[in-house]
Amino acid sequence: MVKDISTLMGYRKDIRVVDATLRDGGLVNDFYFTDDFVRALYQTNVKAGVDYMEFGYKASKEMFDVDKFGKWKFCNDDDIREIVGDNNTDLKISVMADVGRCDYKTDIIDKKDSPIDLIRVATYLNTIPTAVDMIEDASNKGYSTSCNIMAISNGQEEDIKVALDILGQTPVDIFYIVDSYGALYPEQIARIADLYLNFAAKFGKKVGIHAHNNQQLAFANTIEAVGDGVDWLDGTYLAMGRGAGNCAMELLLGFLRNPKYNVYPAIKFVEQYMSKLKDEGIVWGYDLQYLMTGLLNQHPRTAIQFTKDGRTDYSEFYKEVVAHD
């Protein structure tokens, strides 16, 4: 039951930290980050030793009005280039591509012409075939790829196994555990990590985790996963992300033992940039409405609406979300 003590003193060189602030945080402010913010974030990630910075989504401009969102919902290669130049750093760049909401055949260009290194394909269990097509498309264009299977806390274990078996036979590099609803406890993460790691070992893949903080477990679930052998870890500064937010980058960098990671630039960035977003009235993070949807293993959309409506009648909301009629 007690894990090898070395996991808290030593470190695994294979660990990769992914900053998802612009991408998951963009869901909170419709991706309206200033260029100054994005540049400072980029510099912070470089200084902090973060391995990947996710700039946002490659969202379809057919489906979404470019005038109604900040540019990081679309992540034009030129916009990224504007921030990173030739990106002569150790920091690599990722974007997320949602199944059914991305014109990947046209909008994702050849890697040799793009500043992007990694395409993270986000899918539900019932859209795996399209995810496979997206992975193959991106891989053929020269990118590394991950597959982030969302909402697995509502999925059947047998379906997850079938999905991992299908994905194992693609060029995808990383299977991502995604606790979309913030519903999972560390014990469950341990079991899921075990399942993912078995398939990963069979097919020569890596495993990652993206957690949500509905039950104040995003960091705990992430470090549970580290202890279990999961290598790719998502974090966001000040835990900025949809609803209850994510695993806080500053907690994660404080925890990791590899000397390449530095928590000080993260603290500085939170102080100078993230606190300001909060002061400007952008709302995210743990609150009781998110606890409730997490506890009930529901999509947080009702809790997000509760927040947007400025409601504080938690007990009424509880009655709404437990109602099955």
Can you state the angle between helices 288-295 and 314-322, rounded to 10 degrees?
20
**Nearest-approach distance from CB 2 to a copy of itself, in angstroms:** 5
Q: Is residue 201 near a copy of itself by the rule CB under 8 A?
A: no
> How many angstroms separate the CA atoms of 8 and 244, rounded?
27
> How many angstroms separate the CA atoms of 219 and 226, rounded?
11
- Segment 208 to 247, residues that bind a copy of itself, using CB under 8 A: 213, 215-221, 223-224, 227-228
> How many angstroms separate the CA atoms of 205 and 74, rounded?
28
Q: Is residue 9 near a copy of itself by the rule CB under 8 A?
A: no
Residue type, 201: A
Q: Is residue 295 near a copy of itself by the rule CB under 8 A?
A: yes
Query: For a copy of itself, which stretch binds (CB under 8 A), given 25-33, 107-115, 141-149, 290-298?
Result: 290-298
Which position has the token pair 């539900």?
124
Q: Which of 43, 79, 268, 283 binds a copy of itself (CB under 8 A)?
A: 268
CB atoms within 10 A of CB 4: 9
| Residue whose CB is less far from a copy of itself, 118 or 249 | 249
Q: Is residue 312 near a copy of itself by the rule CB under 8 A?
A: yes
| Residue whose CB is less far from a copy of itself, 35 or 313 | 313
DSSP string, 123-186: E-GGGHHHHHHHHHHHHHTT-EEEEEE--GGGS-HHHHHHHHHHHHTSS--EEEEE-TTS---H
| Residue whose CB is less far from a copy of itself, 105 or 299 | 299
Positions touching a copy of itself (CB under 8 A) are 1-3, 5, 7-8, 185-188, 190-191, 194, 213, 215-221, 223-224, 227-228, 248, 250-251, 254-255, 263-264, 267-268, 270-271, 275, 288, 291-292, 295, 312-315, 318
